[in-house]
Structure 1
Amino acid sequence: VPQPECRLAEASRTRVLVVEDDLLVGAVAAEALEEAGFTVLSAASAEEASIILTEEIIDVLFSDIDLGGRDGCD
C-alpha cells in the first residue's frame, strides 16, 4: 500500500481543469482539489475552457454540465 506522501506526489503531477460558471462553486472545487495536491486550472465558461485546452496539457476535466447555453459535455 503506497504511503500517503506517495499518493500526494502523484496527485501534484495531475493537472485538473475546473470548468464552472458559478464562480463560488468553481473556487470551492478548485480549492479542494489544490488541498488534495492537484495542480488546478480554472475556467468560467466553455469558451475559456476551449482556449485553455488548446494551450495546456490537462489530465482531468472537472466540468459543470450547464454552462450558460453550452453543454459541459461538449
Structure 2
Amino acid sequence: MAETTVTSLRFKKDQYDQLKHLADFEGVSVTTYMRRAVLERMEDEADYKDAQANRAESKGATMSRIEIMKQLGMKP
C-alpha cells in the first residue's frame, strides 16, 4: 500500500453538519467524501493548466468538432 499522511480539518458545526449530510446522501463517510472532493479539485486544476498550456502552444488556432472526430477515426 502507498504511504499516506493523515491531516485534520476544523469546521464550524453547521458546516460539518452540511458536509455530513452530503456524505450521507452519497452513501460514503465524511472522510471519503472530503478525499474525493479534494482529489477531484486537484484533477480539475491539472486539467486547467494543461488546457492553458495547449492553448498557448496552439497560438489560438482552433479545430472544429468534425476535424477532431476525423483525427480520432470517428464518423462525423
Q: TM-score range by the shorter chain?
A: under 0.3
Looking at secondary structure, tell me which structure has more helix per residue. 2
| TM-score using structure 2 length | 0.27
Looking at secondary structure, tell me which structure has more strand per residue. 1
| TM-score using structure 1 length | 0.27
